Structure 1
Amino acid sequence: MKPFWALSRAILRGFVRDRTSVFFAVVFPLMFLVLFGGLFSDQSVGKVDMIVVGDASLVDDLPADARDDFDDTFHVVRSDDLDDALDQVRKGDADVAVEQQGDTLVAHYSQTDPAKAGIVAGTLRALVDGTNIALTGQQPTYDLRVESVEDDSLSTIQYYTPGLLGWAVAMSAAFGAAATLQGWRQSKLLRRLQLAPVSTRSVVGARVSVTVSIALVQMAIFIGVGGIFFGLTLTGAWWMAIPLLVVGTLCFMAIGLLAGAITKTQEGAVNAANFLVLPMAFLSGSFFALDDAPQWLQTFSELLPLKHLNDGMLDVMVRGEPWTAALVPMAILAAFALVVTLVAARLFRWDTA
């Protein structure tokens, strides 16, 4: 065990002393967490800006309970100039302009914001239907109740933390493995280790243990910062994120080894790892959800290991899923790691020549 611990200490000291490695492994991803946390931790939906043109008795004569809901949804200003109101909606200064023509409430809205337009149309339709029911005196047969599928503690930052953590671990593991392999190869340290009385298991074990330890430290920092500053709340079997993160680290170490095996310089290895990991982060939901992406892109993302790491951690950390939700992502990541490691071993060379 002495060679293992000696190599582990040497690798860890090299990582800590390399400020660039520490920055890109811990500080750089954490900057994104702080940025997204600051932007979205207190995200709320604002009122719809409505311009009421002329007399609109349907809006003015609402019952008390309907008036409260209406005031919670719309911010109303009055105008007698329809053309000016339409111009404000067209420019985005207002969301909707309404006028009453006889028994018809006419709403003019812009299609530049489909989400806001849907809110406007749905709310006004409910308003008109409710008024019709009130005037006829007939009670509706059916009722609607809406409930969130998540608990009340869920906030936007909880969706970003697992994805950003997955990207941080993937980047650190891949870059570390690629740079270490090429750095040792260029400095002839690989040849010295081959001739030294140190087993291959000790060398590999030391590198893996240090990388996994760094990943666990990253996880602790992300959860700590998210919980203390942005209200991150862990739910379900969140502890299953730990073994999932370990398997994910091994998977991206394998990608780093592949990058180091197919390149001839340390800079080339790091660039190759970056070429593999950075696009994967965008296509795996680390920075934004892929729900609105084309179907072919969503299908392609299922082939990427980071997608399964992100989804698995999202399930067990914030979605309240049971511990079994992490098993399938772990199996996929382990299989990916095995295949890529075998390919990297096939392409591995002791010297740069």
Structure 2
Amino acid sequence: MRAYWQLTWAQLLLFARNKNMIIWSFFLPILMMLALGTFMGNGGTQFSMTVAVDDRDHSTYSKQLTTIIDETAGIKVKRLDEKKALQAVKKGDVNIFIRLDEGLGSRLESKKPHPKGEKEPIQLYLDKSNPTVSQIGTTVINQAVDQLNKKAMDYHPIVKVAEHNVQSRPLRTIDFLVPGILSLMIMSNNLNGVAATIASWRERGILRRMQGTPLKSSTFIAGQITARVLLNSLQAVAVLLVAYFIYDVKVYGSWLLLLMIVLLGTLTFMSIGFIIASLSRTPETAGPIAGLISFPMIFVGGIFFPVRDLPGLLQPIVKAIPIGYLTEGLRGVMNEGASLSQLGIPVVVLTAWFFVAFVIASVTFRWDVK
């Protein structure tokens, strides 16, 4: 037991003295979170669009239409003439251009149907090569015009729809990103870190010298696991504290359950890292193998965007790898306040991954290069 604690303490000292380790483990996740929070914003609106308006009518109705569009969530209105607006649309600086021609106000005041063959007083210009923006933008503009028409006709609907928000907590972009960054940190530190470190120690003969001592392999692995679990827990708390004080990101669930998910993720990816280190003869081969495994997981693990948005072809892969379940577990505790029973599937899958990977790591572990 004494050797176990000494080895754990020695490993923690190695972490503390390694400047690169401190930068990559502590500061990189925090800087990534700050960068994403700054560029993407910490508000709840994820939709953003710029609309240019050239009002040639200058009537009460044209001003009302511009106001309706400007007050729509996520819409920013710029007042430009036609020439500048069309150039801005072509460059991508503006998503949609609306020209309000003379006669718009008088047409609405007359309350008469639109005469056949007569030019429409509202002209819409947009780039249809971007179907998402064009469809959403067209819908928003049509709704604004419809609202103006109803107002001019003094239309009163007989039946209305009552909306009820059933979302328990408002989810902002930064609330979604922080658990993903934690998941990325755990995977990178343990899968990539363990593979490179153990392979390096083996090549330099450090493991061979340890093998010549009374130290058991189980004690060595247990010390590595304990040190990295403590390190990952400390990292997670540091990231969450920064997220709380800067972006007001809260943990709605149990901190104990959150740390348990962190523990499971650490154990799982550490075990995979040991497997890679055992199968690699040198650190030069361990690094690329670990990167080849971890890099695709960044895009299919729900770290930066929801798993449900991935193509159907990738869904079976997502359901087979551990990173998706780690991200789901962290996000469930932080964003939804989920309990252990509600996170049964992620916990079971991560535990199964850890058990299988640990058995393989124990069987394939080598003290020396063969």
Report what 1:96 is aligned to. Answer: 97
Report what 1:27 is aligned to. Answer: 27
Structure 1 gap ranges (5+): none
Alpha-carbon distance between aligned partners in 1 of 2:291 and 2:86, rounded to the nearest angstrom: 50
Alpha-carbon distance between aligned partners in 2 of 1:51 and 1:298, rounded to the nearest angstrom: 43
Q: Does 1:261 align with 2:263?
A: no
Q: Secondary structure at the match of 2:261?
A: helix
Amino acid at match of 2:125: H
Alpha-carbon distance between aligned partners in 2 of 1:28 and 1:217, rounded to the nearest angstrom: 14
Offset, 1:53: 5.3
Alpha-carbon distance between aligned partners in 2 of 1:238 and 1:224, rounded to the nearest angstrom: 12
- What does residue range 165-176 of structure 1 map to in structure 2 within 5 Å? 165-176=182-193
Report what 1:49 is aligned to. Answer: 51
Q: Secondary structure at the match of 2:336?
A: coil
Report what 2:169 is aligned to. Answer: 151
Alpha-carbon distance between aligned partners in 1 of 2:130 and 2:329, rounded to the nearest angstrom: 33
Q: Does 1:72 align with 2:71?
A: yes
> CA 1:128 to 1:34, structure 2 compared with 1: closer, same or farther past 3 Å?
closer
Q: Secondary structure at the match of 1:196?
A: coil
> CA 1:70 to 1:194, structure 2 compared with 1: closer, same or farther past 3 Å?
closer
> CA 1:291 to 1:331, structure 2 compared with 1: closer, same or farther past 3 Å?
closer
Q: Does 1:221 align with 2:221?
A: no
Amino acid at match of 2:142: R
Structure 2 residue corresponding to 1:335, chosen from 338, 346, 352: 352
Offset, 1:284: 1.3
Report what 1:37 is aligned to. Answer: 37
Aligned residues with identical type, % of pairs: 24
Report what 2:16 is aligned to. Answer: 16
Alpha-carbon distance between aligned partners in 1 of 2:343 and 2:330, rounded to the nearest angstrom: 7
Amino acid at match of 2:282: T
Offset, 1:168: 0.9
Amino acid at match of 2:261: L
> CA 1:40 to 1:231, structure 2 compared with 1: closer, same or farther past 3 Å?
farther
Alpha-carbon distance between aligned partners in 2 of 1:60 and 1:29, rounded to the nearest angstrom: 49
> CA 1:58 to 1:343, structure 2 compared with 1: closer, same or farther past 3 Å?
farther
Q: Secondary structure at the match of 1:281?
A: helix
Write out per-residue CA displacement over residues 203-224 of structure 1, whole angstroms, 9 at most, x where no aligned residue.
Answer: 2221110010011011011101
Alpha-carbon distance between aligned partners in 2 of 1:345 and 1:144, rounded to the nearest angstrom: 60
Amino acid at match of 2:98: A
Q: Which moved more, 1:320-329 or 1:30-39?
A: 320-329
Write out per-residue CA displacement over residues 272-329 of structure 1, whole angstroms, 9 at most, x where no aligned residue.
Answer: 2233223322321324445543221343222221111111101111133333233321
> CA 1:144 to 1:167, structure 2 compared with 1: closer, same or farther past 3 Å?
same
Check the 8 A contact 2:89/2:97 in 1, yes or no: yes
Alpha-carbon distance between aligned partners in 1 of 2:203 and 2:265, rounded to the nearest angstrom: 28
> CA 1:238 to 1:133, structure 2 compared with 1: closer, same or farther past 3 Å?
farther
Report what 2:117 is aligned to. Answer: none
- What does residue range 306-317 of structure 1 map to in structure 2 within 5 Å? 306-317=323-334
Report what 2:159 is aligned to. Answer: 141
Check the 8 A contact 2:52/2:85 in 1, yes or no: no
Report what 1:326 is aligned to. Answer: 343
Check the 8 A contact 2:300/2:310 in 1, yes or no: no
Amino acid at match of 1:75: V
Check the 8 A contact 2:326/2:350 in 1, yes or no: yes
> CA 1:88 to 1:28, structure 2 compared with 1: closer, same or farther past 3 Å?
closer
Amino acid at match of 1:10: A
Check the 8 A contact 2:253/2:337 in 1, yes or no: yes
Check the 8 A contact 1:248/1:330 in 2, yes or no: no
- What does residue range 252-291 of structure 1 map to in structure 2 within 5 Å? 252-291=269-308
> CA 1:349 to 1:90, structure 2 compared with 1: closer, same or farther past 3 Å?
closer
The TM-score normalised by the length of structure 1 is 0.84
Q: Give the root-mean-square deviation of aligned CA atoms.
A: 3.1
Amino acid at match of 1:38: T
Q: Secondary structure at the match of 2:342?
A: helix
Offset, 1:27: 2.4
> CA 1:57 to 1:148, structure 2 compared with 1: closer, same or farther past 3 Å?
farther
Q: Which moved more, 1:264-273 or 1:250-259?
A: 264-273
Check the 8 A contact 2:8/2:227 in 1, yes or no: yes
Structure 2 gap ranges (5+): 108-113, 115-119
Amino acid at match of 2:203: Q
The TM-score normalised by the length of structure 2 is 0.81
Q: Does 1:245 align with 2:262?
A: yes
Q: Secondary structure at the match of 1:120?
A: helix
Offset, 1:68: 5.5
Q: Does 1:161 align with 2:178?
A: yes
Offset, 1:23: 2.5
